[in-house]
């Protein structure tokens, strides 16, 4: 009796799915259970832009690996946080009028200096991201 390896078995299944056109049907299922390896957090610092791009009291949402980051120019200086709410992972945004970070999903409010919870259901502060200014350019993340 001939035994087949796991790799051979998967290859056969893949060929059967391709031949029958079921690949298109199963691809989303496979992608759900085995998502492509997207970076959670970039290894290198990410350029946000020039310091002048964010006036005091304003914020910018930027791509940061798999999830966006929120960079805020507060009266006490620039701050960067993951834009993912610590409650159920909705994306937070800056409310310049309130001068608070707001999660629209369940009315979570965070203060801008430490990312701490002011009110609402979020169980913990927003994840802070290291920030550095080099030659007037803002970088977030990385080993700094
Ligand atoms: S997901 Fe942000 S408050 Fe619920």
Provide the 8-state DSSP code for 84.
B
- The single-letter DSSP state of residue 25 is H
Pocket test for ligand 1, best of 70, 93, 102, 103 (most atoms within 8 A of CB): 103
Residues 3-24 have pLDDT tens digits of 777 667 767 766 776 667 665 6
Q: Where are the domains of the chain?
A: 1-36, 46-140
What distance in angstroms lies between residue 85's CA and the mean position of ligand 1's atoms?
Answer: 6
- For the stretch 13-59, pLDDT in tens is 667 766 676 656 665 565 566 555 456 788 899 999 999 999 999 99
Ligand 1 close to Cβ of residue 102 (< 6 A) = no
Per-residue b/e over 111-134, b at no fewer than 16 CB within 10 Å? ebeebebeeeebeeebeebebeee
Choose one of 87, 110, 125 to mutate for the ligand 1 pocket test, by most ligand atoms within 8 angstroms of C-beta.
Answer: 87
Q: What's the 13 CA to ligand 1 centre distance in angstroms?
A: 41
CATH match of 46-140 with 2.102.10.10: yes
Q: What is the pTM (predicted TM-score) of this model?
A: 0.74
Calpha distance 126→139 (Å, rounded): 18
The token pair at 92 is 């937070």
- Atom index in ligand 1 nearest the CA of residue 120 equals 3
């Amino acid at each position: 009796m001939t035994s087949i390896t796991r790799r051979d078995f998967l290859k056969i299944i893949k060929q059967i799915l391709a031949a029958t056109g079921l690949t298109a049907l199963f691809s989303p299922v496979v992608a759900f259970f085995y998502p492509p390896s997207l970076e959670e957090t970039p290894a290198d610092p990410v350029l946000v832009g020039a310091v002048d791009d964010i006036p005091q009291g304003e914020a910018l949402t930027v791509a940061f690996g798999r999830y966006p980051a929120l960079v805020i120019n507060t009266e006490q200086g620039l701050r960067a946080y993951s834009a993912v709410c610590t409650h159920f992972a909705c994306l937070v945004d800056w409310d310049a009028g309130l001068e608070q970070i707001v999660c629209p999903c369940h009315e979570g409010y965070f203060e801008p200096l430490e990312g701490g919870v002011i009110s609402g259901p979020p169980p913990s502060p927003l994840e802070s991201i290291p920030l550095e200014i080099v030659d007037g350019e803002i970088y977030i993340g990385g080993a700094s």
